[in-house]
């Protein structure tokens, strides 16, 4: 099943105190181990790709119940807690600079998880595509700053990434499940959760945008020199009526530039470079260097204005207390209760119907999270 989701969260500052984060690592590892033992690694990927389950999981761990930090801290705890050689499960990427290390870390999983080179290449491509689509093809006002890529020993994957809107002070979280995903540009969403819905957001990953995507590729492959007539001059100065006069004659242009569509000469050079490469499809086009939101938007607008094929402008968007939050809201974290929850997981495993060998192995692994 294809799955992608979005969650909108208010930006909160601060970091979890060390005493809390150390427990978050243990509890995140303990809960993950139960899921791995009971349901397998594919099920853990499915749950991480569900924005509602992820939000509840973050709240159980004890971070702010609805803030942007639930994403960065929960993913950070999972990256420390889950070890490839021990769990057959790996977390790559992270926040800021760490996100740019994702391709290299995915490549490392080839040896750590014994994954074929072919699957590694596909996962690296999936990592790049999921980031490009949520950052450039879906223009909802949120700039990505975190990207985590989850991998199991079968080479299956999930993505959790987050963007920031500096104007409304909210963050938006995007979830992907790689299971059976063979087309990244045809309604990949399965569950979307948010408090804010934008009035207008370009969505080139929508089924409604299919023809606009095809025209965008055709415009590039047909030498974009002829596209210059749709863009204003690079100086950006306001155009005056006298600019079109010569003596007593007034000659009005056939084109009036459209807001957010005009490109500078430097930006136009990116389109020329794309033409030289001749991309076969829209996926190849958006992955080309320099093909960012502005150029994607410009091609979409030309598709509508000139060829009558509009893209979708519908925002593709559709929480739980357990231990409290780091800032005392909705109530302070009770350390004794938190530790009791970890021990309860151990007892649950102990009383399960696992055979003795698997039961002892599971309990030993969980005890490693409980010990200081």
Domain boundaries, the chain: 3-205+317-370, 207-305
The predicted pLDDT at position 259 comes to 47
First to last CA, the chain: 40
Contact 205, 185 (CB under 8 A): yes
The predicted pLDDT at position 320 comes to 34
Structure tokens at 225: 């020199």
Element (H, E) at 216: helix 210-221
What's the pLDDT band for 17 if we cut at 50, 70, 90? confident
Q: What is the pTM of this model?
A: 0.75
Closest CA to 309 of 219, 208, 223: 208
The listed range with the strongest mean pLDDT (13-27, 146-160, 239-253) is 146-160
Closest CA to 191 of 359, 47, 337: 47
CB atoms within 10 A of CB 223: 12
In the predicted model, what is the mean pLDDT of residues 313-342?
Answer: 61
Q: Is 142 left (phi over 0), alpha (psi -120 to 50) or beta?
A: beta
* Of 355 and 51, more confident: 51
Mean of the per-residue pLDDT values of the chain: 79
What's the pLDDT band for 233 if we cut at 50, 70, 90? very low
**Calpha distance 111→107 (Å, rounded):** 8
Q: Is residue 308 predicted with pLDDT exceeding 70?
A: yes
* Of 353 and 140, more confident: 140
* Of 319 and 280, more confident: 280
The listed range with the strongest mean pLDDT (51-55, 97-101, 170-174) is 97-101
Buried-exposed string 60-78: b where 16+ CB fall within 10 A, e elsewhere: bbbbbbbbbbbbbbbbbbb
């Amino acid at each position: 099943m294809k799955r992608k989701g979005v969650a909108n969260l208010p930006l909160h500052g601060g970091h979890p105190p060390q005493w809390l984060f150390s427990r978050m690592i243990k509890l995140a590892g303990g809960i993950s181990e139960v899921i791995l033992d009971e349901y397998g690694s594919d099920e853990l990927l499915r749950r991480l790709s569900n924005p509602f389950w992820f939000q509840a999981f973050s709240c159980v761990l004890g971070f702010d119940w609805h803030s942007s930090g639930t994403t960065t801290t929960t993913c950070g705890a999972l990256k420390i807690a889950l070890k490839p050689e021990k769990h057959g499960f790996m977390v790559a990427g992270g926040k800021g600079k760490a996100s740019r290390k994702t391709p290299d870390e995915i490549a490392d999983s080839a040896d750590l998880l014994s994954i074929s080179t072919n699957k590694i290449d596909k996962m690296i491509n999936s990592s790049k595509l999921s980031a490009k689509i949520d950052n450039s093809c879906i223009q909802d006002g949120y700039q990505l700053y975190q990207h985590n890529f989850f991998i199991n020993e079968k080479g299956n994957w999930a993505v959790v990434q987050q963007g920031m809107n500096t104007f409304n002070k909210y963050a938006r979280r995007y979830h992907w499940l790689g299971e059976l995903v063979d087309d990244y540009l045809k309604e990949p969403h399965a569950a979307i959760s948010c408090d804010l819905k934008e009035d207008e957001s370009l969505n080139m990953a929508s089924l409604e945008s299919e023809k606009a995507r095809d025209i965008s590729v055709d415009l590039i492959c047909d030498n974009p020199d002829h596209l210059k007539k749709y863009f204003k001059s690079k100086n950006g100065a306001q155009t005056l009526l006298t600019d079109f006069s010569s003596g007593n004659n007034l000659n009005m242009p056939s084109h009036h530039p459209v807001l957010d569509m005009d490109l500078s000469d430097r930006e136009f050079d990116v389109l020329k470079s794309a033409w030289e490469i001749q991309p076969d499809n829209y996926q190849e086009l958006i992955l080309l260097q320099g093909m960012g939101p502005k150029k994607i938007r410009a091609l979409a607008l030309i598709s509508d204005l000139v060829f009558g094929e509009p893209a979708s402008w519908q925002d593709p968007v559709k929480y739980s207390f357990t231990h409290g939050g780091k800032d005392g809201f909705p109530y302070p974290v009770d350390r004794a209760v938190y530790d009791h929850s970890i021990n309860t997981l151990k007892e649950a495993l102990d009383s399960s119907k696992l055979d003795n060998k698997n039961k002892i192995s599971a309990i030993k692994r969980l005890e490693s999270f409980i010990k200081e």
